[in-house]
Amino acid sequence: MSPPLLITFVVFSVASFRSCFSADQQYEMCLSPLRCGSEPSVLFPNITYPFWGSSIGKPSFCGQKEFELSCKDNQNLSLEIENFTFRVVAVKLENKTITVADESLFDGGCPQIFNFTGAMQFTFNHNTEAVDLFNCSSNNPVTTSSKISCQLSSKSPITYHVFGSTNPPQSCTMVGAIPMLASAKNVLHQSNDSDQALKMALEKGFELRYTIDDKTCRDCANSGGICSSEAGSGTFRCLCADGPHKSSCQDVQGLSLIV
């Protein structure tokens, strides 16, 4: 073999080796369980594409941009939607649903009143319903089936009331509606524990449905691959043990997809 051909062969071999190494490394990173703290997550061992997060050991190519998760206090997963931070309660990849709760509830804060009707890939699922919150004058004490007392920013503590099917007194003003699981709402209206029932119901969260084009992802997973996206463009790619492929591990390998 002549020197020029030898040099070309060596350069091509090294480049191919580095590309394969990079692909294998990405495959292993996306395949590994997420971490929130020092150990793999016990509560969410199977969360994969489209979710990702640098703080949970899942680089951006393991998911899609809008589905970034963060690890809070080394134990809880959080998701931001429209500048609101939600704690992840449960994820069902097979149903494309995620249950989240208002993070402020766990920090002693008040429920966030937000006008959320759907954003980007997220919309309310059918088993999520709205609950009306009322603020009542302290000069006219009222009796309700459920209430929650909390700290609103740096202001004085405030108490929100839920009246269920009964009409609120004239001394009460509706401040907004918040989402809640329908099952939790039913339990709430049947409960006599006015101090804890509402807080417990809200901490169960509410369910969102997310939208992704998952046909290609299913083809990838069925062929033994890991669904991922190309950095920058967000174009779907299938990570396989031998490198990235366009849609499944049975496709002709597309080394040009390496980043």
Give the pLDDT of the chain (259 residues) as one tens digit per residue.
554 444 333 333 333 333 444 456 888 888 888 888 776 676 777 788 999 999 898 999 999 988 999 998 888 899 998 788 899 999 998 899 999 999 888 877 888 887 766 666 898 999 999 888 998 887 766 776 688 888 776 667 888 888 876 788 888 899 888 999 999 988 887 776 666 788 889 999 999 999 887 888 999 999 999 999 987 788 899 999 888 898 899 887 654 444 4
160 lies in some domain: no
State the Cα–Cα distance between residues 85 and 91, nearest whole angstrom: 16
State the Cα–Cα distance between residues 66 and 52, nearest whole angstrom: 9
What pLDDT, on a 0 to 100 scale, did the predictor assign at position 144? 65
136 lies in some domain: no
Could you tell me if 88 and 79 are in contact, meaning their C-beta atoms sit under 8 angstroms apart? yes
State the Cα–Cα distance between residues 41 and 21, nearest whole angstrom: 27
Q: Structure tokens of 142?
A: 């009222």
Which DSSP category does 61 fall into? G
Q: Structure tokens of 103?
A: 């993070």
170 lies in some domain: no
What pLDDT, on a 0 to 100 scale, did the predictor assign at position 84? 84
Work out how many domains the chain is built from and give that number.
Answer: 1
44 lies in some domain: yes
- What single-letter amino acid sits at 146? S
- What single-letter amino acid sits at 49? Y
100 lies in some domain: yes
Cis check for the bond before 59: say yes or no (omega within 30 of 0).
no
What pLDDT, on a 0 to 100 scale, did the predictor assign at position 206? 94
252 lies in some domain: no
162 lies in some domain: no
> In 3D, which of 113, 121, 41, 54 has the Cα closest to residue 81?
121
Q: Which residues pair with 173 in a beta bridge?
A: 135
What pLDDT, on a 0 to 100 scale, did the predictor assign at position 4? 47
What pLDDT, on a 0 to 100 scale, did the predictor assign at position 118? 62
Q: Residue 125: CB partners within 8 Å, gap ≥ 6? A: 97, 207, 208, 209
- What single-letter amino acid sits at 4? P
State the Cα–Cα distance between residues 69 and 84, nearest whole angstrom: 13
Q: Which residues pair with 229 in a beta bridge?
A: 236
Could you tell me if 84 and 68 are in contact, meaning their C-beta atoms sit under 8 angstroms apart? no
156 lies in some domain: no
Q: Which residues pair with 91 in a beta bridge?
A: 98
**Residue ranges making up the domain that contains 62:** 25-129+179-245
- Cβ count near 120 (within 10 Å): 12
